[in-house]
Protein backbone atom coordinates (compact mmCIF):
# COMPACT_ATOMS: atom_id res chain seq x y z
CA UNK A 1 0.00 0.00 0.00
CA UNK A 2 1.10 3.50 -0.76
CA UNK A 3 0.20 6.51 1.35
CA UNK A 4 1.00 10.17 1.41
CA UNK A 5 0.34 11.75 4.76
CA UNK A 6 0.17 15.44 5.45
CA UNK A 7 0.25 17.02 8.88
CA UNK A 8 -2.65 19.47 8.81
CA UNK A 9 -4.13 22.22 10.90
CA UNK A 10 -7.44 21.42 9.23
CA UNK A 11 -8.75 19.43 6.28
CA UNK A 12 -12.04 18.51 4.67
CA UNK A 13 -13.31 16.50 1.72
CA UNK A 14 -16.30 17.48 -0.40
CA UNK A 15 -18.24 15.35 -2.87
CA UNK A 16 -20.83 17.11 -5.03
CA UNK A 17 -20.87 20.07 -2.66
CA UNK A 18 -21.38 18.08 0.55
CA UNK A 19 -18.71 17.55 3.18
CA UNK A 20 -17.98 13.84 3.69
CA UNK A 21 -15.19 14.28 6.22
CA UNK A 22 -13.59 17.06 8.24
CA UNK A 23 -10.84 17.26 10.86
CA UNK A 24 -8.92 19.95 12.65
CA UNK A 25 -5.34 19.15 13.72
CA UNK A 26 -4.23 15.75 12.52
CA UNK A 27 -3.27 13.82 9.41
CA UNK A 28 -4.70 13.84 5.93
CA UNK A 29 -4.03 10.28 4.75
CA UNK A 30 -4.12 9.66 0.99
CA UNK A 31 -4.07 5.90 0.50
CA UNK A 32 -3.80 3.52 -2.46
CA UNK A 33 -3.97 -0.26 -2.54
CA UNK A 34 -1.66 -1.83 -5.09
CA UNK A 35 -1.96 -5.18 -6.85
CA UNK A 36 -0.82 -7.88 -4.45
CA UNK A 37 -1.66 -5.92 -1.30
CA UNK A 38 -3.55 -7.55 1.57
CA UNK A 39 -4.77 -6.72 5.03
CA UNK A 40 -1.20 -7.23 6.25
CA UNK A 41 0.05 -4.14 4.36
CA UNK A 42 -2.95 -2.13 5.53
CA UNK A 43 -2.25 -3.08 9.14
CA UNK A 44 1.45 -2.16 8.84
CA UNK A 45 0.61 1.17 7.24
CA UNK A 46 -1.91 2.06 9.93
CA UNK A 47 0.47 1.09 12.75
CA UNK A 48 3.23 3.20 11.22
CA UNK A 49 1.19 6.35 10.68
CA UNK A 50 -0.41 6.22 14.13
CA UNK A 51 3.03 6.10 15.79
CA UNK A 52 4.92 8.41 13.40
CA UNK A 53 6.39 11.22 15.50
CA UNK A 54 5.76 14.27 13.32
CA UNK A 55 3.96 16.64 15.69
CA UNK A 56 5.87 19.13 17.79
CA UNK A 57 6.54 18.65 21.47
CA UNK A 58 6.90 21.47 24.01
CA UNK A 59 10.48 22.09 22.81
CA UNK A 60 9.36 22.48 19.20
CA UNK A 61 10.82 19.15 18.03
CA UNK A 62 8.86 16.67 15.91
CA UNK A 63 8.51 14.14 18.69
CA UNK A 64 4.79 13.39 19.13
CA UNK A 65 2.40 11.13 17.23
CA UNK A 66 -1.13 11.89 16.05
CA UNK A 67 -2.34 9.73 18.93
CA UNK A 68 -0.34 11.71 21.47
CA UNK A 69 -1.70 15.07 20.26
CA UNK A 70 -5.29 13.79 19.96
CA UNK A 71 -5.42 14.66 16.27
CA UNK A 72 -7.84 13.36 13.71
CA UNK A 73 -7.34 11.21 10.64
CA UNK A 74 -8.96 12.12 7.33
CA UNK A 75 -8.57 9.05 5.11
CA UNK A 76 -8.99 9.56 1.36
CA UNK A 77 -8.66 6.89 -1.34
CA UNK A 78 -6.33 7.94 -4.16
CA UNK A 79 -5.48 5.31 -6.78
CA UNK A 80 -3.29 7.81 -8.64
CA UNK A 81 -0.57 7.24 -6.06
CA UNK A 82 0.19 4.06 -8.02
CA UNK A 83 0.98 6.06 -11.18
CA UNK A 84 3.81 4.77 -13.33
CA UNK A 85 5.28 7.50 -15.53
CA UNK A 86 8.32 5.57 -16.73
CA UNK A 87 6.81 4.80 -20.14
CA UNK A 88 6.04 8.32 -21.27
CA UNK A 89 3.98 11.33 -20.31
CA UNK A 90 0.66 9.62 -19.75
CA UNK A 91 0.60 7.82 -16.38
CA UNK A 92 -0.31 4.16 -16.22
CA UNK A 93 -2.29 2.94 -13.22
CA UNK A 94 -1.93 -0.79 -13.82
CA UNK A 95 -0.09 -1.12 -10.51
CA UNK A 96 -3.18 -0.08 -8.56
CA UNK A 97 -5.45 -2.80 -7.19
CA UNK A 98 -8.57 -3.53 -9.24
CA UNK A 99 -11.48 -1.31 -8.12
CA UNK A 100 -13.27 -4.02 -6.14
CA UNK A 101 -10.12 -5.08 -4.32
CA UNK A 102 -9.09 -1.45 -3.82
CA UNK A 103 -12.45 -0.67 -2.21
CA UNK A 104 -12.25 -3.76 0.00
CA UNK A 105 -8.77 -2.83 1.28
CA UNK A 106 -9.71 0.85 1.69
CA UNK A 107 -12.79 -0.11 3.72
CA UNK A 108 -10.68 -2.52 5.78
CA UNK A 109 -8.09 0.21 6.43
CA UNK A 110 -10.80 2.67 7.53
CA UNK A 111 -12.47 0.06 9.77
CA UNK A 112 -9.16 -0.77 11.43
CA UNK A 113 -8.34 2.93 11.84
CA UNK A 114 -11.69 3.47 13.58
CA UNK A 115 -10.94 0.61 15.97
CA UNK A 116 -7.50 2.04 16.81
CA UNK A 117 -8.15 5.80 16.82
CA UNK A 118 -11.04 7.88 18.19
CA UNK A 119 -11.43 10.40 15.33
CA UNK A 120 -11.47 9.06 11.77
CA UNK A 121 -13.22 10.80 8.90
CA UNK A 122 -13.20 9.79 5.23
CA UNK A 123 -13.66 10.78 1.67
CA UNK A 124 -15.79 8.64 -0.65
CA UNK A 125 -14.19 5.78 -2.57
CA UNK A 126 -14.06 6.34 -6.37
CA UNK A 127 -15.83 9.71 -6.13
CA UNK A 128 -14.72 12.98 -7.67
CA UNK A 129 -13.54 14.66 -4.47
CA UNK A 130 -12.32 18.13 -3.62
CA UNK A 131 -9.80 18.00 -0.80
CA UNK A 132 -9.17 21.20 1.15
CA UNK A 133 -6.34 21.40 3.65
CA UNK A 134 -4.04 23.67 5.57
CA UNK A 135 -0.73 21.79 5.58
CA UNK A 136 1.05 22.42 8.87
CA UNK A 137 4.78 22.94 8.44
CA UNK A 138 4.49 21.92 5.65
CA UNK A 139 4.99 18.29 6.58
CA UNK A 140 4.29 15.71 3.86
CA UNK A 141 5.60 12.14 4.02
CA UNK A 142 5.26 9.23 1.60
CA UNK A 143 4.92 5.74 3.08
CA UNK A 144 4.90 2.42 1.25
CA UNK A 145 4.27 -1.02 2.71
CA UNK A 146 5.44 -3.71 0.28
CA UNK A 147 3.92 -7.18 0.17
CA UNK A 148 6.45 -9.94 0.90
CA UNK A 149 6.01 -11.53 -2.53
CA UNK A 150 6.88 -8.38 -4.54
**Given 40, 80, 93, 130, the catalytic residue:** 80
92: number of CA atoms within 13 Å, CB side? 7
Distances (CA, A) of 23 to 10, 37, 80, 89, 95: 6, 28, 23, 35, 30
Question: Which residue, 90, 92, 136, 104, is CA-closest to 31?
Answer: 104
Is 78 marked active-site? yes
3-state helix, strand, coil split of the chain in percent (to 5) is 25, 40, 35
Residues recorded for the chain: 150
Is 80 marked active-site? yes
**Given 6, 25, 56, 79, the catalytic residue:** 79
**Given 6, 55, 78, 109, the catalytic residue:** 78
- The alpha carbons of the chain give a radius of gyration, in whole angstroms, of 15
Which residues are identified as catalytic?
A: 78-80
Amino acid sequence: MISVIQRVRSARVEVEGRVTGRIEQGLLVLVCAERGDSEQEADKLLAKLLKLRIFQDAAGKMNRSVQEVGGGLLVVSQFTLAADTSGGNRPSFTGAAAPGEGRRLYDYFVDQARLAHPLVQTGEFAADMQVHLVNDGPVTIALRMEPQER
